[in-house]
Amino acid sequence: MASRSQARPQYDFETRLRAVGAARYHDKHPFHVAMHEGRLTRGQIQGWVANRYYYQKNIPRKDAAILSNLPDREKRRRWITRIIDHDGTLEGQGGGIDAWLALARAVGLSDADVIGETSVAAGTRFAVDAYVTFARTQPWIVAVASSLTELFAPDLMARRIEVLARNYAWIDEQGLGYFRRRLTLAPRDAAYALAWVLEGATSTELQDACVRALEFKCDVLWAILDATQNACGAGPQGDGRL
């Protein structure tokens, strides 16, 4: 009989990781469903953008925390591109945060509205801060596994571009650049992160920890939408304002 520490077959481990997205990814949240069905008000879309900004601005902090725990130079060289992609560069190359602020302007918010974070719900702050702490304190491979929601992102981004353009014609389409960027960046990042996790999680215990980490990340994204929906509703019946 195999010992408990012996890993299950690798294909089974990857199947387990992908099954997390099928069951728990936040595209199934009622707020997301309402968005994709065109049922959100202008104020609810604005509330989502304002809340999600707090997550967006903390992505580089999360990635820096993981970077500090990576054990070798090659992995650090690869992972640091995520921070640059999101923060941009001193030479003026914009990143994901700039693209999200462009989305905010496209839905009628000012940079000051969003950066001031006055509309960020307490639940959003709690969930995002918990994720940054998780990335800083967990073993690197577990923290990397939590990032594998990127496996599920491209399909969602493609649908989101279509849905927002079709159902919310008042949104300036030039503001959808963030989602277009993720169509290429998310698969690239997910590919090497998944390879690291599949190669490095060599025991059943570590594989289980990686699956739980991905479940936790899905819970973080779900909690952000919970907080947004609780604050501003999810359809014409809501007041549409945070």
125-137 tens-digit pLDDT: 999 999 999 999 9
Residue 25 tokens read as 């990814």
Read off φ and ψ for residue 7, nearest 5 degrees.
-70, 150
In-domain check, residue 52: yes
Q: What's the mean pLDDT when you consider all of the chain? A: 92
Choose among 63, 90, 93: nearest CA to 78: 63
Residue range(s) defining the domain that contains residue 94 = 10-232
For residue 19, give the 3-state DSSP assignment: helix
Q: Rg of the chain over CA atoms, in angstroms?
A: 18
Choose among 25, 22, 51, 196: nearest CA to 114: 51
Alpha-helical (H) ranges within 138-238 are 140-146, 153-167, 177-200, 204-232
In-domain check, residue 241: no
In-domain check, residue 1: no
56-84 tens-digit pLDDT: 999 999 999 999 999 999 999 999 999 99
> What's the per-residue H, E or C state across 34-66?
HHHCCCCCHHHHHHHHHHHHHHHHHHHHHHHHH
Number of domains in the chain: 1
198-235 tens-digit pLDDT: 999 999 999 999 999 999 999 999 999 999 999 998 87
pLDDT at 240: 44
In-domain check, residue 239: no
> Residue 137: which CATH number?
1.20.910.10
